[in-house]
Structure 1
Amino acid sequence: MLNTSPLQTEIQLHSLLRAHISLTHEIHGDEETENALSARRIQSRCFVYDIRNYKPINQWGPFLDDGSVNWLHIEHLANVVLINLRELPPLWATTIPPLGLENTRAYSAPGPHCDTDWAGVEGTWRRYVCFMDYRYVSNHYSNVAGGPRNPLFFHDTRFREATRLIEVKLHLISKGELRFQKPSCEGPNLNPRYPVLYFSGTSRGVSGNEAKIEGTVQIGVDGTPRWTFVNAMLISGSYLPSSKGVQIGGPC
């Protein structure tokens, strides 16, 4: 982290560790733990759905003003998704990804590994997406549940948050093979050992809707891999919102 106070650095390091552990130290089913997780979930939802945390200076994503990863933001994102996954029916248990430090090691993902694919892009992946209705977001910042950004909003019986499983198949391509809107890179290549990767593939939800994915992976200013990609519906050709993310575990 650049130009941060000792306290902020400590907060970031603490969140970095918690993001890598991914709640695996929390024993599911214990009443005390469940109460603690419930409180943490409210705190994380308040952070994730606060639109003030998304602005041009942080590239509309989980980054600090200096371009490094905001691990506090990453921790809150992980909490929201992972606690939602704990509530899925038992039938979905096998679709939950392996978690914990052991599964953030380089080459810990199954399948063949290519030396040029330093981020482990290629393969078939399960992507979980969690979101709430934009009308709830709008109301959350107006007059629902006692006023703007009130944590009581997430205790309201009207609150709903969706969790969707998406199958993603990706393969590496050259920059010239990008067909749709080219994702913007976050600057020049900062490490010749890890050149910018360009990828293409498909995204399919459980409802059968399929979209084309294209994007890039590159090293950020703090040495953390950054993912940027856009979706385009194969039937209509319309674009879906772009996404930015951080690879937990670092490059291979």
Structure 2
Amino acid sequence: MSDYAQSPRPEPLHLVPPELVSSPIAIPRRAGSPDLPVFMKDICFSATSSNYPQTPPLTSSLTMSASPASPQFQSPLLRTPCEIIHKVLCSSGVRDPVGLARAARTCKELGSLIYESTDTALWREIHLELYDDPRLSGTVSGGRDVVWKRSVQQREFVGRISREWSEERFGELPILLEPICSILQGLYLDIPPTAAPSNDTDSEMTDDSASSISSSASASSVDSLNIPLLEAILRSPIFAHLYYNHSYRATRPTLRPLSGQTASPLRRQTREDIHPVLSMLHCLLPPDFDGEDEHHRTHRGYLREMVYTASNYTEKNDWGPFNSDGEVDWRLLDALSSIMMANARDVIALGEDSWRLALQPLSFGLEAVRGWGWIDLRRPVDLEADDVWDWAGVEGTWCGSYAFLDYADWITLNEPRIVALRRQVGQLDLARYAEAVGDLLHMHLTIDRPCDKSKDLLPPVTSGIPTGDLLPPIHFSGSSAPTSAAWPSPAASSFVRGTVQLTADWPPQVRWTMVIRYGGEDRWKVEGVQMGGRGSKRGFFGVWTDATKELHSPNGPAWYWKT
């Protein structure tokens, strides 16, 4: 008999951390598995045998060699130098994180090395092999504390359920909505930036700052590890189920019929946003609506209704996809971007050659929403002190277009009582509607310099809601004309002017405000947000409204991207 007393069998060490599954809502359990939540049964190693040898716990940390106190019961691995143990565990964790969790349950001493060591090097190295380094994030300025083990556990959990859960288990997803959204948002926020117009690294700076800049520059030159993982999850049936079924709650209000009517055929559902992060994540990729799928058609109709409902754009949100506090309204931005990208795909499918220019921003998946980030915000050293820094990449040629409803249909949507009084009681079916798409436009923009006083004669483009102050506003002007016109043509082109500034979000978003002028008058105003931040290839999506906000003036979506 061994000199050591038999240790009690260790508690299961789960890959999913307890805080991920703690919830006041009762978690469903499968029959025959009373000890573990149903979704943890897939992650944890279920060991029913008691034949695993038990060893006394380590008294030394991972930085010291594991002493072979009981060679006849101790694994040969634990008698090797600590560097070899660390290398084996790290390689195993990178190849198969679930296998590492199972190995931790075979031996209390091994489990202590994997889960209880105060040294975070093991989980940090596993994390950096599997995912992007969050300390070089392109969306959050500066480093931050990272709980490496928990981050790996949570992301592995979401990745496994997106790959392995069948449709029969989708009913368990609502109680996981909050953690799944948080984990996916973290994957997106940790994506490193793309290469931005660089500063002169020979300028004077401290060694620490030079090292930081160099690190961020090298991070931006490599492929992202998070992008293929996140893109696979966003295209999975799991995310589609969450988005189509749990991004909003639909109710049908009780309306009193008009005089002489037995019922109101114009009654519509109202939808309450449940989780804005779902809408934000859906914005990252072009929508994949199937015209033969009734669920997809219904949802596209709901997005159309949201886009063209004039009451969604008021003075409180500066007639744009924003909240009154100056932050982005992701529900509206998701509707605007989804409708415009879906319309662009429809036009391209019809064989419109000029619209092939839209293939680039529609392609490359999440790479198209990977911007310059917020790590290096220094002015270029070769820029004159009185010159304007184009930190958003405004100057240059942009392509874009817009969409609109037939005005009679827009009135039907926004003024149902007027239509009902005229006894035109046919309901507008936006699920089967095909709105008109405008010409593809070329827009050439330049930055307004302090020396240019001619722009001072026009009314300034201002904001009525809070904005971010991390970077100064950029004022621009230029001209816009259809690609089919002999551009630039004074007869066919219009004058545009506007402002690019940051929203009040954190991380901030890039907000575009643009006024389009025809015949010496301001006609239309566009308020939009650039998906992916400054320098992203997807461009900005927004809503166009009447510049003077006349009564019963129409509105619709718009999309511009840089060529």
What TM-score does the superposition give when structure 1 sets the normalisation length?
Answer: 0.78
The one-letter amino acid paired with 1:180 is L
Q: Given that residues 46 and 151 in structure 1 are in contact (C-alpha distance below 8 angstroms), is that contact kept between their aligned partners in structure 2?
A: no
Q: Aligned residue for 2:516?
A: 231
Deviation at 1:238, TM superposition (A): 2.3
Distance 1:93 1:166 in 2: 10
Q: Aligned residue for 2:275?
A: 11
Say if 1:188 and 1:41 are closer, same or farther in 2 by CA, change over 3 A.
closer
Q: Given that residues 189 and 196 in structure 1 are in contact (C-alpha distance below 8 angstroms), is that contact kept between their aligned partners in structure 2?
A: no
Deviation at 1:107, TM superposition (A): 5.1
**1:141-152 paired onto structure 2 within 5 Å:** 141-142=415-416, 143=419, 146=425, 152=429
The one-letter amino acid paired with 1:98 is P
SS in 2 for 1:21: coil
Distance 2:342 2:513 in 1: 25
**What do residues 78-129 of structure 1 show as CA deviations (whole Å, max 9, x unaligned)?**
1211111122122245221423320112259xxxxx9522212111111111
Distance 1:250 1:31 in 2: 31
Q: Given that residues 202 and 210 in structure 1 are in contact (C-alpha distance below 8 angstroms), is that contact kept between their aligned partners in structure 2?
A: yes
1:246 matched to 2:246: no
Q: Given that residues 107 and 120 in structure 1 are in contact (C-alpha distance below 8 angstroms), is that contact kept between their aligned partners in structure 2?
A: no
Q: Aligned residue for 2:501?
A: 218
Distance 1:136 1:31 in 2: 21
Q: Given that residues 467 and 504 in structure 2 are in contact (C-alpha distance below 8 angstroms), is that contact kept between their aligned partners in structure 1?
A: no
The one-letter amino acid paired with 1:19 is C
Superposed CA RMSD in Å reads 3.0
1:174 matched to 2:449: yes
SS in 2 for 1:168: strand
**What do residues 194-214 of structure 1 show as CA deviations (whole Å, max 9, x unaligned)?**
111011111102464201111
Distance 1:45 1:9 in 2: 16
Distance 1:146 1:153 in 2: 15
Deviation at 1:77, TM superposition (A): 0.6
User: Match for 1:21 among 285, 298, 323?
Assistant: 285
Q: Given that residues 43 and 151 in structure 1 are in contact (C-alpha distance below 8 angstroms), is that contact kept between their aligned partners in structure 2?
A: no
1:72 matched to 2:331: yes
User: Match for 2:469 among 191, 203, 207?
Assistant: 191
Distance 2:326 2:447 in 1: 25
Q: Given that residues 229 and 244 in structure 1 are in contact (C-alpha distance below 8 angstroms), is that contact kept between their aligned partners in structure 2?
A: yes
Q: Aligned residue for 1:94?
A: 356
1:164 matched to 2:427: no
Say if 1:161 and 1:81 are closer, same or farther in 2 by CA, change over 3 A.
same
The one-letter amino acid paired with 1:225 is V
Say if 1:40 and 1:135 are closer, same or farther in 2 by CA, change over 3 A.
same
Say if 1:44 and 1:187 are closer, same or farther in 2 by CA, change over 3 A.
closer
Deviation at 1:36, TM superposition (A): 4.5
Q: Given that residues 167 and 204 in structure 1 are in contact (C-alpha distance below 8 angstroms), is that contact kept between their aligned partners in structure 2?
A: yes
Say if 1:213 and 1:146 are closer, same or farther in 2 by CA, change over 3 A.
same
Deviation at 1:181, TM superposition (A): 2.4
1:126 matched to 2:367: no
User: Match for 2:309 among 32, 37, 50?
Assistant: 50
Distance 2:442 2:428 in 1: 33
Distance 1:136 1:16 in 2: 29
Say if 1:31 and 1:182 are closer, same or farther in 2 by CA, change over 3 A.
closer
The one-letter amino acid paired with 2:530 is Q
SS in 1 for 2:445: strand
Q: Given that residues 301 and 430 in structure 2 are in contact (C-alpha distance below 8 angstroms), is that contact kept between their aligned partners in structure 1?
A: no
How many pairs are equivalent?
Answer: 230
Deviation at 1:53, TM superposition (A): 0.6
Q: Given that residues 443 and 480 in structure 2 are in contact (C-alpha distance below 8 angstroms), is that contact kept between their aligned partners in structure 1?
A: yes
Structure richer in strand, relative to its length: 1
Q: Which of 1 and 2 has greater Rg? A: 2
Higher relative contact order (CA 8 A, sep 6+): 1
Runs in 1 of length 4+ with deviation above 4 angstroms?
A: 6-10, 144-147, 186-189
SS in 1 for 2:326: coil
Deviation at 1:162, TM superposition (A): 3.0
SS in 2 for 1:164: coil
**Relative to structure 2, which stretch is displaced further, 40-49 or 98-107?**
98-107
Q: Aligned residue for 2:343?
A: 84
SS in 1 for 2:479: strand
1:139 matched to 2:440: no
Distance 2:294 2:398 in 1: 32
Deviation at 1:13, TM superposition (A): 0.9
Identical counterparts, % of pairs = 28
1:203 matched to 2:480: yes
Say if 1:9 and 1:135 are closer, same or farther in 2 by CA, change over 3 A.
closer
Distance 2:430 2:466 in 1: 42
Say if 1:237 and 1:251 are closer, same or farther in 2 by CA, change over 3 A.
same
Structure 1 unaligned residues grouped into runs of 5+: 1-5, 109-113
**Relative to structure 2, which stretch is displaced further, 72-81 or 130-139?**
130-139
